[in-house]
Amino acid sequence: MNGAAIARAVHRSRVEWMDTDAAGHHHNTAVVRFVEAAEATLIRERGITGYFGAAPRVRFEVDFSSPLWFGQEVTTNLVLEHIGTSSMTFRFGVWGEETDQHPRRLAASGRYVTVHVPRGERDSAPWPAAWRAALEDDAHRRTQERSD
């Protein structure tokens, strides 16, 4: 997860039964859920309100590299790497943590783009200045980098 970072978030969770198929490993859609939970963590940590419902995904790409298993702990690392006028680009890594039967492995990685579409509108619009300021807050970023 090296490279430019405007903001970062880490979300820890577990593969639940609903996340698996009959073989006991994750459905690909579970990765999207883990990534969206990390995004929600980032938005909450920055105190942003009104984001959800106004930031649809317009692109989502993922490379799957290892299965996740029922009950396995999962760590999702999310990086906001670019803020444009009305779009944002994120990259992520979803890690399956070590178990008695499996080593820690990268399960999925990728990128996605969201666009600001204010509620009730159909066209994109610039990100609110307060949201940009919260996401670009250098003091918060330095605190997060020290804790990584």
The total number of residues shown for the chain amounts to 148
Look at residue 100 in the predicted model and tell me its pLDDT: 86
SS3 state at 25: strand
Which residue is listed with tokens 């307060």? 130
Quick check: 148 pLDDT over 60? no
- The Cα 115–Cα 18 span in angstroms is 29
Quick check: 31 pLDDT over 80? yes
Look at residue 106 in the predicted model and tell me its pLDDT: 97
Q: Residue 64 forms beta bridges with which residues? A: 108
Q: Tell me the average pLDDT across 93-121.
A: 94
The lowest-confidence range among 14-23, 46-55, 122-131 is: 14-23
Look at residue 22 in the predicted model and tell me its pLDDT: 83
More confident site: 139 or 64 = 64
Quick check: 23 pLDDT over 60? yes
Q: Residue 75 forms beta bridges with which residues? A: 12, 95
- The Cα 64–Cα 11 span in angstroms is 18
- The Cα 90–Cα 51 span in angstroms is 15
- The Cα 136–Cα 80 span in angstroms is 10
Q: Which helix (H) or strand (E) holds 58?
A: strand 57-64
More confident site: 24 or 58 = 58
Q: Tell me the average pLDDT across 41-66.
A: 96
